[in-house]
Amino acid sequence: MKTNYRMTTTKKAHKTMITTRMLVMGFLLAALPAGVAIVSAAAPETPLTAAGQKLEARYAEKLKALQAEVTKALPPIDEAKKAAFLAAAKEQPPFPRPPVFAEATTGRPVRPNGSFRGLPQKANS
């Protein structure tokens, strides 16, 4: 005995189901900009209390002292060497892309180490 497992629905039920799906999708698409606007709105900055201002001042002083200590500990930079280095860096050509080979059996691009990940669709020529 052969059993027919195909689900049978009437045309009216099918039309109603499609209409319902379209209404739900339309509602979601209409509500999307409102949700994005709510999430992207920045919260107003709250003013610091007296204790917060005292902490901010104390940490600002510590930051200035630490910056001065690091600046004092670093050796001075020779401006001529710096200019020569930056000029040489501008003349340096950009790094070439790693070679990509097409595998003989599949035609898929393969790097020399055998990896496929992150490669373009066509092999470099």
* pLDDT in the model for residue 107: 61
What are the tens digits of pLDDT across the range 68-87? 999 999 988 899 999 999 99
Q: How far is CA 56 from the centre of its chain?
A: 32
**Residue pLDDT, tens place only, 83-100:** 999 999 888 887 776 665
Tell me what pLDDT residue 59 has: 96
The C-alpha atoms of residue 104 and residue 95 are separated, in whole angstroms, by 27
Q: Is the pLDDT of residue 15 over 90?
A: no
Spatial separation of the C-alpha atoms in residues 63 and 85, rounded to whole Å: 31
Model confidence pLDDT, tens digit, residues 28-77: 777 777 766 666 655 567 888 999 999 999 999 999 999 999 999 998 88
DSSP H helix total and E strand total for the chain: 3, 2
In whole angstroms, give the CA distance from residue 114 to residue 103: 9
Give me the residue spans of the domains in the chain: 98-125
Query: Is there a contact between 70 and 90 (Cβ–Cβ < 8 Å)?
Result: no
**Residue listed under structure tokens 């280095």:** 85
